[in-house]
Copies of this chain bind each other. A is one copy, B any other.
Amino acid sequence: MAKATRKPVTARGEQTRQNLLAAAELEFGEKGFHTASVSSITRRAGVAQGTFYIYYDSKEEILRELVRFMNRKLRHTLTQATHGITDRIEVERVGLETFLRFAIEDQNLYRVVLESQFIDESIYREYYEQMADVYTARLEQAQREGQIRSGSAYGQAWALMGMASFLGLRYAVWEGTMPPDDVMETALAFIEGGLVPLKDDDVKAE
């Protein structure tokens, strides 16, 4: 499938590869995929145009790489932040906040993910499905433990991702800030309201 781009072997090569990736993140984040140009990426990376194709098969490929990188990075960040928290609803609270901070911090990377939808849908779907699957697994676990209401964990995952994304869009991306307190509270109300176990669930949990 891949057209055998020479993978770097030397440390110098690895360095160049990293530089290109970092440059692409900036370039894509600032200008958007289509307005971004390979020549500008190489300029930022301080290498010649041709060098780009030693490491990546195409402009799209580096995008795909970037989205995967973001995926790992976000998941890692979330895992770190919620590590050790046992209450699932608390996890959601912290997770939302962590995500929003992440989106502010890594705005460029985040924009790249969003845009990937219109370059190659498969990149974007891979990202969200991957994310949703992991999320779903965690929620199912919590359901089994009776921490949250039973129901379609997959549906819960998408609903929660939807809320988080839109708050991220509205505040992190558009304003570069966290949502004001009342908005955060409202969001948490939805999370709790939608997840807190009902009486019936207690029974099931037994």
CB contact list, A130-183 vs B, under 8 A:
149, 151-152, 154-156, 158-159, 161-167, 169-170, 174, 179-180, 182-183
B158 lies within 8 A of A166 (CB):
yes
Give per-residue flags for A31-50: 1 if the beta carbon is below 8 A from chain B beta carbons, else 0.
01110000000010000000
Q: Is the CB of A151 within 8 A of B189?
A: yes
Within the complex, the shortest CB–CB distance from A42 to chain B, in Å, comes to 12
Contact size range, A: 35 or more
Contact of A163 among B125, B162, B185 (CB under 8 A): B162
Could you tell me if A164 and B167 are in contact, using CB atoms closer than 8 angstroms?
no
Interface segment out of the listed A14-22, A62-70, A192-200: A192-200
Chain B residues with CB under 8 Å of A205's CB are none
By the criterion CB–CB under 8 Å, are A166 and B155 in contact?
A: no
Contact B118 A185 (CB under 8 A): no
List 6 interface pairs A-B (beta carbons < 8 Å), by A numbering. A33-B118, A151-B186, A159-B166, A162-B166, A186-B194, A190-B193
